[in-house]
Amino acid sequence: MAGCLPAYMPVIVAILRAMCQEPFNLHGSTASPGGCAPFIVVNGPVRTAIGMNAAHNVLGHGNRANAKIGRAICLILINVLGCIPGQLDRSTLGHPGKYMFCLAEDEEDSPWVPLAQERGVPAGTSGLTVLAGASPRQLLNEWMHDPEEIIETFAAEMRHNMLTYSVWSGNYALIIPKQLRELLVAAGWYKHDIREYICRSARVLRHDWATVGKAKIVHRRGGPARNLPRCAPRMTS
């Protein structure tokens, strides 16, 4: 299916099993007008065994395993579960991740603990994480070398997203490229430092919604001064 090689099948099966777990909320994520798509992070030996990309252009074209695994999941949702746009799939706009949203984590070139190990998968064992994700946003801060300044750029995007997209908090996946990761590592920052900073900084006040055309909801549950977090990020490196 979708040009997959036989070696990809164990990964596809594992992704489907993960998506069938209750926390993923398969029906909600496939039928929501928000148009999210399964964002897949693969860890462990299987990445290199099947030739997945974990570095340059990791969310783009040019790698068969990344593209075909992501496409196979999309086709299974359409052909097996009936997630057809305009029918069960009620996405208002959708995004390109509905075609392919799959990558491997750069474990060999990073001192950070891989995502799968952070989530309980033993070292040396293959594992994966699936998140119902909205469209990716590429951020830029090439002028600063202070870790707090760099991570504040990420937090600012989260605050902006909370104002202009959903009013509900949620999970984020921060894909940090080698260039920024090396700056953070040189300063002694690890994944937990980034998470702690994000959870302190990625917050808005309810009255901020009045500045983006959502004044009607400012006085709900807690009033305009209520501090609202935009937290729970997951990171790949």
Q: What is the pLDDT of residues 99-112, one digit of tens each?
A: 999 999 999 999 99
If asked whether residues 64 and 111 sit together in one domain, one would say yes
Distance (Å) of CA 107 to CA 16, 39, 48, 79, 80 = 23, 18, 10, 34, 33
Task: Among 105, 136, 167, give the residue marking a domain's end.
Answer: 136
Q: What is the pLDDT of residues 11-30, one digit of tens each?
A: 999 999 999 999 999 999 99
What burial class does residue 205 get, using C-beta atoms within 10 Å of its C-beta: 0-12 exposed, 13-18 middle, 19+ buried?
Answer: middle
Strand-pair partners of 129: 41
Is the separation of the CB atoms in 173 and 101 below 8 Å?
no
Q: What is the pLDDT of residues 180-237, one digit of tens each?
A: 999 999 999 999 999 999 999 998 888 888 999 998 888 876 666 666 665 555 666 6
If asked whether residues 216 and 114 sit together in one domain, one would say no
If asked whether residues 154 and 126 sit together in one domain, one would say no
**CA-based nearest residue to 66, from 133, 112, 135, 3:** 3
Q: What is the pLDDT of residues 87-102, one digit of tens each?
A: 999 999 999 999 999 9
Distance (Å) of CA 138 to CA 19, 57, 206, 210 = 26, 12, 26, 26
Q: What is the pLDDT at residue 205?
A: 86
If asked whether residues 28 and 94 sit together in one domain, one would say yes
If asked whether residues 207 and 154 sit together in one domain, one would say yes
Domain that holds residue 125: 1-136
| Mean pLDDT, all residues of the chain | 91
Task: Among 89, 117, 136, give the residue marking a domain's end.
Answer: 136
If asked whether residues 111 and 14 sit together in one domain, one would say yes
Judge whether residue 3 has pLDDT over 70.
yes
Judge whether residue 124 has pLDDT over 90.
yes
pTM (predicted TM-score): 0.89
If asked whether residues 112 and 174 sit together in one domain, one would say no
Q: What is the pLDDT of residues 54-88, one digit of tens each?
A: 999 999 999 999 999 999 999 999 999 999 999 99
If asked whether residues 188 and 227 sit together in one domain, one would say yes
If asked whether residues 194 and 145 sit together in one domain, one would say yes
If asked whether residues 230 and 142 sit together in one domain, one would say yes
Distance (Å) of CA 167 to CA 8, 27, 150, 170 = 38, 21, 25, 10
If asked whether residues 2 and 110 sit together in one domain, one would say yes
Task: Report how many domains make up the chain.
Answer: 2
If asked whether residues 129 and 172 sit together in one domain, one would say no
Q: What is the pLDDT at residue 225?
A: 65
Structure tokens given for 88: 């069960």
Task: Among 93, 118, 136, give the residue marking a domain's end.
Answer: 136
Judge whether residue 165 has pLDDT over 90.
no
Judge whether residue 52 has pLDDT over 70.
yes
